[in-house]
Amino acid sequence: MSFNTAQVNEILDKLERQYPEAGCALEHQDVFQLLVSVVLSAQTTDKSVNIVTKDLFAAYPDAHALAAARQEDVIEIIKRIGMYKTKSKNILALARMLEEQYSGQVPEDYDSLISLPGVGRKTANVVLAVGFGHQRIAVDTHVFRVSNRIGLVQEKDVLKTELALMDTLPEHRWSRSHHSLIFHGRNCCHARKPDCENCVIGYICEKKGVESR
């Protein structure tokens, strides 16, 4: 690791001050709606997901209602987002599994979550962090890019990045840091053309080759 503990906390402090509003952008009323929204958000913007879930949750607000839905009706609601056929199949199967195995409730357990259709490591971590208040790091494209680019970690894949961040960042800051890194990726540290000149952590970022103060 290139940064010591003080520098890591300095980076996290600056990102939190820069993005005080950083948090889950998916609109939801409960953990079930959060879970469905995260499943739908794969390779799709949160903004697009929020548009379709407004109607989806109005029609099917909980696992019981969604489990009884017809796939063609769900497709009609969510067809503006990517991979809508696969996603419609997954959220219907997910709802039915919740009904059959968990009395319609979302389990507060990682292994149980990833056993649900359409739920992988990232989705499970988001649900545990946002829905249940656990300290988790969910590595999406922004977290992967930003954390490796600035030098918090130096890994080549998502899983190794997550594990390295868990080792590098203070555990009590995992969930908040996840959101800060996402917001920094969306607003400043863009994939193709990062705005290094206006970056609050540019002076310490490894990409710029600048030594820490």
The DSSP call for residue 105 is P
Alpha-carbon separation of residue 182 from 6, 92, 128, 191 (angstroms): 22, 29, 17, 12
Length of the chain: 213
Q: Out of 140, 160, 207, 208, which one is annotated catalytic?
A: 140
- Verify whether residue 122 is a known catalytic residue: yes
Q: Quick one: how far is CA 46 from the chain centroid?
A: 10
> Which one, of 6, 129, 33, lies nearest residue 143 by Cα?
129
CA–CA dist 139, 136 (Å, integer): 10
Question: 93, 39 in Cβ contact below 8 A?
Answer: no
Q: Which two tokens stand for residue 61?
A: 């607000």
What is the distance in angstroms between the CA of the first residue and the CA of the last residue of the chain? Answer: 17
- Verify whether residue 46 is a known catalytic residue: no
The catalytic site residues sit at 122, 140
